[in-house]
Amino acid sequence: MSAIIIFTAVSLAQLMIGAAMAIAALRMFRGPRAQDRIIGLDTLYVSAMLLLVTFGIGTGRVIYFEAALVIGMLGFVSTVALAKFLMRGEVIE
């Protein structure tokens, strides 16, 4: 019984997070300006991180947690670098 509940909840959650990622990707394509695209990328990687955690619950493996942590760190650094580029026109001054 509890396996069915968890399976359904994980599938529903994955569908919703997948939809959120699709919407974020749509905003990345649409723009209209560079800062909108960057914030779309930010939303996309945060949702990807959440999706990985739900994969972890669905399969019962802990390895997905580490992948989520790595995505979070790389995403943070890339967003900061892109924002810095927007502000100054170069990343390393």
Q: For residues 76 and 92, which CB has a smaller minimum distance to other proteins in the complex?
A: 76
Angle at which helices 34-59 and 63-88 cross, to 10°: 180
| 28 token code pair | 């990345």
The SS3 of residue 90 is: coil
Which residues in the 70-89 window bind other proteins by CB under 8 A?
A: 72-73, 76, 79-80, 83-84, 86-87
Cβ pair 44, 28 in contact under 8 A: yes
CB of 92 to other proteins, least distance (A): 15
Cβ pair 81, 48 in contact under 8 A: no
Binding mask 30-69 for other proteins (x = CB under 8 A): ---x-xx-xxx-xx--xx-xx--xx-xxxxx-x--x--xx
CA atoms of 7 and 80, how far apart (whole Å)? 36
Interacting residues toward other proteins by CB under 8 A: 1-10, 12-14, 16-17, 19-21, 23-24, 26-27, 33, 35-36, 38-40, 42-43, 46-47, 49-50, 53-54, 56-60, 62, 65, 68-69, 72-73, 76, 79-80, 83-84, 86-87
